[in-house]
């Protein structure tokens, strides 16, 4: 039995198989929507402990 996951974009049920070239997405459209969200910086990965030798603009404080 194949693993079934929810599409991260629309929530549709998706089989996680080699036949689905867009996995974990249900379609090319949902894959592109997600990519666009990353490009527009709608998602971010927070830094737990940002380096102390950089200021808020990312420039070296030295």
CB 20 within 8 A of CB 11: no
48 is an annotated ligand-binding site residue: no
Number of Cβ within 10 Å of residue 16's Cβ equals: 11
Q: Which residues contact 19 (CB under 8 A, 6 or more apart)?
A: none
36 is an annotated ligand-binding site residue: no
33 is an annotated ligand-binding site residue: no
49 is an annotated ligand-binding site residue: no
Binding residues: 7, 10, 26, 30
Binding residues for Zn(2+): 7, 10, 26, 30
């Amino acid at each position: 039995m194949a693993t079934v996951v929810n599409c991260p974009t629309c929530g549709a049920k998706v089989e996680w198989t080699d036949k689905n070239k867009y996995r974990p997405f249900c379609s090319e459209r949902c894959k592109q929507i997600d990519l666009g969200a990353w490009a527009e910086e709608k998602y971010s990965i927070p830094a737990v402990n940002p380096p102390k030798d950089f200021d808020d603009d990312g420039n070296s404080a030295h």
